[in-house]
Structure 1
Amino acid sequence: MTEPGISFYEARGPQGMRLYAIGDVHGRLDLLTAMHRRIEAELSQRPSTDWRVIHLGDYVDRGPDSRGVIDFLIDAQRRDPRHLMLAGNHDLGFLDFLDVPDPDGLFMRYGGVQTALSYGVSLTANAYWFGKAETVRQGHAALVEAVPQNHVEFLRSLPFSVTFGDFFFCHAGIRPGVALESQSLQDLIWIREVFHDHTGLHPKIVVHGHTPVPKAEITGNRVNVDTLAWQSGNLTALVVDGADKHILTVTGERA
């Protein structure tokens, strides 16, 4: 029997727990720290019995300080396990490149050069565009040496989804008609059109990133908080406090 769906306007968070779901960071440590300061200030001004800060994946690539972002998240999680981090496709692409230096893979094609630079390693874009696989292999060896083991362990440990109250959090979205507990890991970090185009209700409101939008996108069945932070300078979060739901944005320099 199909589980009944719920609309965004009816959805509620857990009693006594405030939720913050932060969109794709992509190396923008400045925006991530600003968002955390904003959340800390809000929790101080309007205390909640309990809370969770949920990061929706894509911590690396494109922006200038992927290494700093991972250091920050590891430290935040160490200080308080209520800081939760989910896997994004770029995070797994980084791990894939560390395993196998594919010059045509996600990492080299979409911002991995900037990630490597944050670790002090040069992987020139020409190494990809002109097929200089040997140059990529040399850079790969240097990057493997430069990336701390705790960064690798952190990325390998990332779960693909989490749920609280009437909300289901993941990086990219879900496949409509498939039970939440049966979603494929591939869909949770990669899906786009078939999820975005679905207008029916899901068992829970899906809160996701992955597909950039100019401002937070709220529909009856999902919320997209990927506002292209690495380029736009706008990092966005959904805040859920019981029945109250609102958007929080921090703004910095455009790339």
Structure 2
Amino acid sequence: MAEPGIHFLDACGPDDIRLYAIGDVHGRLDLLVAMHQRIEAEIEQETPADWRVIHLGDYVDRGPDSKRVIDFLIEARERDPRHLMLAGNHDIGFLDFLRTPDPEGLFMRYGGVQTALSYGVSLTADASWFGKVETVRRGHAALVKAVPPDHVDFLRSLPFSVTFGDFFFCHAGIRPGVALERQNQQDLIWIRDVFHDHTGLFPKIVVHGHTPVPEAEVMANRVNVDTLAWQSGMLSALVVDGPDKRILTMTIKEA
């Protein structure tokens, strides 16, 4: 028998734990720092019994400060393990590139050049195929040396999902009809249409990013907080405090 679903309006967080789920950062350290400052101020002022800050993945690529974003997240997790970080497809793509320098892979095609620059490595090349392949080969060797071991360890440590109360958190979404505990990792960081088009309720509200929307999207069965921070200058988060839910946004236009 299928597990009954839950509607967003009826969903509750766990007792005595306030949740903050932050969308895709993509190298925008300024927005991430500002969001953390806002959250810390709320926690200090409102003193919830406990809290978790859940980052939904895609920390690297496209924006200017991927290296410092990872530094910031490592420090935050070491300072307080209630800061949780999940894997996004770009984070796994970065690891994939460090293992195998594919000139046509996700990293090179979608913002990895900016990530490499944040580590002081250039991956730009002339338009010829041979020029690109040679640049990627040399750049890969330099990037492997430039990326600190603790950054690689951090990326490898990222889980693909976490659950609190009536909420299931992941980067991209889930495959309808598959139990939450049996979801495929590739779906959790890549899925789009079959998940977005599903109108039925899920066993828990799925909180995700991955697919940019102009403003946070609250549906009956899911919440999307990817507001294209690297380009829009707006980073969004879902806040859950018992039965209360709200969207928190931080806006900074890139200079």
TM-score, normalised relative to structure 1: 0.98
Aligned partner of 2:202 in structure 1 is 202
Asked whether the 8 Å contact 1:127–1:133 carries over to 2, the reply is no
Aligned partner of 1:52 in structure 2 is 52
Is 1:150 the counterpart of 2:150? The answer is yes
Unmatched segments (≥5 aa) in structure 1: none
Identity across aligned pairs (percent)?
80
* 1:48 shift after superposition: 0.5
* 1:44 shift after superposition: 1.0
- Over 3 Å counting, the alpha-carbon distance change for 1:40 and 1:129 in structure 2 is farther
* 1:130 shift after superposition: 6.6
Is 1:221 the counterpart of 2:221? The answer is yes
**Using the alignment, how far apart are the partners of 1:125 and 1:251 within structure 2?**
34
Asked whether the 8 Å contact 2:125–2:132 carries over to 1, the reply is no
4+ residue segments displaced more than 2 Å: 125-132
* 1:132 shift after superposition: 2.2
Asked whether the 8 Å contact 1:217–1:225 carries over to 2, the reply is yes
Structure 1, residues 114-148: CA drift from partner, whole Å, max 9, x if none?
Answer: 00000000010646877621111000000000000
- Over 3 Å counting, the alpha-carbon distance change for 1:152 and 1:10 in structure 2 is same
After superposition, residues 1-255 of structure 1 pair within 5 angstroms as: 1-124=1-124, 126=126, 132-254=132-254
Asked whether the 8 Å contact 2:12–2:244 carries over to 1, the reply is yes
- Over 3 Å counting, the alpha-carbon distance change for 1:3 and 1:52 in structure 2 is same
- Partner amino acid, structure 2, of 1:82: R
Structure 1, residues 206-227: CA drift from partner, whole Å, max 9, x if none?
Answer: 0000000000000000000000
**Using the alignment, how far apart are the partners of 2:96 and 2:161 within structure 1?**
20
SS class of match (1:9): helix
Asked whether the 8 Å contact 2:125–2:135 carries over to 1, the reply is no
**Using the alignment, how far apart are the partners of 1:61 and 1:157 within structure 2?**
19
* 1:180 shift after superposition: 0.1
Residues matched between the structures, number: 255
**Using the alignment, how far apart are the partners of 2:8 and 2:222 within structure 1?**
7
**Using the alignment, how far apart are the partners of 1:150 and 1:127 within structure 2?**
34
